[in-house]
């Protein structure tokens, strides 16, 4: 378990260094948000911290490969249609 925690700390350090290198280019808000969320979880729950860093990586992959359907953000119309369906079923 301690080895997993060490790996998460190393992964966090790498991402932090990457953002520090981009400091003058203003890292994207989502990058800062995911890294901050990972930092908040890091001390007590390294598994949750790793999940936040997975989200950090997923956003980066989405920018590199926009065709990834799993990372596509739904439209307002899709969200409304799904919500209306749930509301009609009384969920």
Q: Is the pLDDT of residue 71 over 60?
A: no
Q: For 3-62, what is each residue's pLDDT tens digit?
A: 888 898 899 899 888 888 877 777 778 788 888 999 999 888 989 999 888 888 887 777
d(CA 63, CA 73): 12
Which pLDDT score, from 0 to 100, does residue 91 have? 61
Question: Which tokens hold the place of 72?
Answer: 């596509």
Q: For 6-23, what is each residue's pLDDT tens digit?
A: 898 899 899 888 888 877
| Residue 68 DSSP symbol | -
- Each domain of the chain, given as residue ranges in start order, spans 2-89
Which pLDDT score, from 0 to 100, does residue 20 have? 87
Q: CA distances (Å), 15 to each of 39, 62, 83, in order?
A: 11, 17, 36
Q: Residue 26: what are its φ and ψ, rounded to 5°?
A: 55, 90
| Residue 75 DSSP symbol | P
């Amino acid at each position: 378990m301690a080895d997993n925690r060490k790996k998460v700390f190393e992964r966090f350090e790498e991402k932090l260094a990457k953002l520090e290198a981009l400091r003058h280019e203003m890292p994207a808000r989502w990058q800062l948000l995911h890294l901050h969320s990972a930092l908040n979880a890091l001390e007590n729950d390294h598994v949750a911290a790793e999940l936040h860093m997975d989200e950090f990586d997923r956003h980066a992959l989405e920018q590199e490969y926009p065709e990834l359907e799993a990372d596509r953000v739904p439209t307002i119309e899709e969200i409304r249609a799904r919500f209306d369906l749930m509301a009609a079923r009384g969920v």
